[in-house]
Chains A and B, each alone.
Chain A
Amino acid sequence: MTEEKPSDKPEGKPEEAKPAPEPAEKPAAKPTAEKPAAPAVKPAAPAAHGAAAAPAEPPKPLEPGQFGQFLKEHGIQSTRLADSSRGVETILLDGDKLDAAMRLLRHSPEIALNYLVTVSGVDNTDSFDSVYVLWSYSNNNELIVKVRIKKSDVKEDGLPMVPSISPFWKAADWHERETFDLVGIRYLGHPYLRRILNPWDWEGYPLRKDYKQLVDALNDRNPHSMR
């Protein structure tokens, strides 16, 4: 009851005209004010901040293409694709090298891409991509790994096949199920590859380009519709 008052007060009309320029300047002023402040704080408390700041300094953002280089040094060949629009390195791997490469990227301390943001699938017109987005909190790095399967290599009535990483990376479990459900990529070695979002008896893979919706939900041409 008492706390309602402070929010009512500012509605007072006389003040309305005055603060107009203030908010406009405030957001603009912040970046200039904050940035010089940040370095000024650090030297002031060297003992407390020094330890925390030191590990953050050395692993600067890797140069572009460095993850591919790292994998190459460990005997895993990859192809570099065009960076994402925000400049994230994107590499293409062979399916049979995926397992070894992911373990390496996850566990080697200098790379430490140990956070799996997502696994998803893309239907290009002539191929399927299984996409893995990796993130490193300790190094502030990101990497996108793709495994590409040509549609000409997929058997008739078969699914494109990619080895699963969920046996050693639990986070991939549901993501792979979702990709299987929506894009129709079979993850070999997945412990429980079953549709996760669609009903279990759903036919087809909705995010494929050639997917035909059997029930036209938008225009309601389904004869069994209750509408």
Chain B
Amino acid sequence: MVTELTTSGLKTDEMIINMGPQHPATHGVLRLIVTLDGEIVKHTEPVLGHLHRAQEWQGQVRTWFQYQALIDRVDYLSGMFTSWALCRAAEDIDGTEVPEKAEWLRVLVSEMNRISSHLLWLGTYLIDLGAMFGFPFYPFRERDKLLTLFEEIAGQRMMFNYIRVGGVMREPKADWYKRVENFTKEFPDRVDEYEAIVTQNPIFLKRTKV
């Protein structure tokens, strides 16, 4: 098909280009089949299956406790939430009562997980915008603190397997709470820092504002 561009009067042919399955900016494995007309993307077909690991099927052929180790990997940035979802489903079926303290711990670690996940988003988003050095590491600095806290209670920095059917894996030490508290105290200042460095950055504004 030949399409005429009104602006330049140039004639271009449509071209189908395969982008991926690996691309430095895709973060996960995504393949795009892109139909281009000159520099205009006419149509895109995403091919998603490269990250598909048949989690549902694996859940069907495993026991709850075997599956718990896998469920963290559904979203590797928010393992707490996915294990919580599995545990709540299992507790519903089982009728297990969760101690109140464990429920609060679940809320606490999930919130921390959410923050660390957002921080990773911010850092990688900046990398995608072209900020290769410097700012992306500001959010990663705080994320690393959270991951260290997770490591202490769960033994892992990403695939926590911390929330278990009926409660949580173990109770943190008293010192741990203190450090979480310290983190919450210093974090607002850090957010101000990100704001100063990101949202007032002319390059960032130029590349994100419509």
Chain A residues whose C-beta falls within 8 Å of the C-beta of B182 in the assembled complex: 6-7, 9-10
Q: Using a CB-CB cutoff of 8 Å, which residues 104-160 of chain B contact chain A?
A: 104-105, 107-108, 141, 145
Which secondary structure dominates chain B's binding surface? helix
Chain B residues whose C-beta falls within 8 Å of the C-beta of A22 in the assembled complex: 174, 177
Q: Using a CB-CB cutoff of 8 Å, which residues 163-210 of chain B contact chain A?
A: 172-175, 177-179, 181-183, 185-186, 190
- Known contacts A196-B49, A207-B56: does B178 contact A27 (CB below 8 Å)? no
- Known contacts A28-B104, A85-B93: does B56 contact A20 (CB below 8 Å)? no
Chain A residues whose C-beta falls within 8 Å of the C-beta of B172 in the assembled complex: 23
Q: B5-38 CB contact bits vs A (8 Å, 1 = yes)?
A: 0000000000000000000000000000000000
Of all chain A residues, the one with the shortest Cβ separation from B56 is A207
Assess whether A17 is in contact with B48, with CB atoms less than 8 Å apart: no
Assess whether B48 is in contact with A197, with CB atoms less than 8 Å apart: yes
- Known contacts A7-B145, A206-B54: does B179 contact A24 (CB below 8 Å)? no
Chain A residues whose C-beta falls within 8 Å of the C-beta of B93 in the assembled complex: 85
Of all chain B residues, the one with the shortest Cβ separation from A18 is B174
Q: How many residues of chain B have a CB within 8 Å of chain A?
A: 30
Chain A residues whose C-beta falls within 8 Å of the C-beta of B173 in the assembled complex: 16
Chain A residues whose C-beta falls within 8 Å of the C-beta of B185 in the assembled complex: 6
Interface residues, chain A, with chain B CB atoms under 8 Å away: 3, 6-7, 9-11, 15-20, 22-24, 26-28, 30, 85-86, 182, 195-199, 206-207
Interface residues, chain B, with chain A CB atoms under 8 Å away: 48-49, 52, 54, 56-57, 60, 92-93, 100-101, 104-105, 107-108, 141, 145, 172-175, 177-179, 181-183, 185-186, 190
Q: List 19 A-B contacts (CB under 8 A).
A: A3-B141, A6-B182, A7-B182, A10-B178, A10-B181, A17-B174, A18-B174, A19-B174, A19-B175, A19-B177, A27-B105, A27-B108, A28-B101, A28-B104, A182-B56, A196-B48, A196-B49, A206-B54, A207-B57
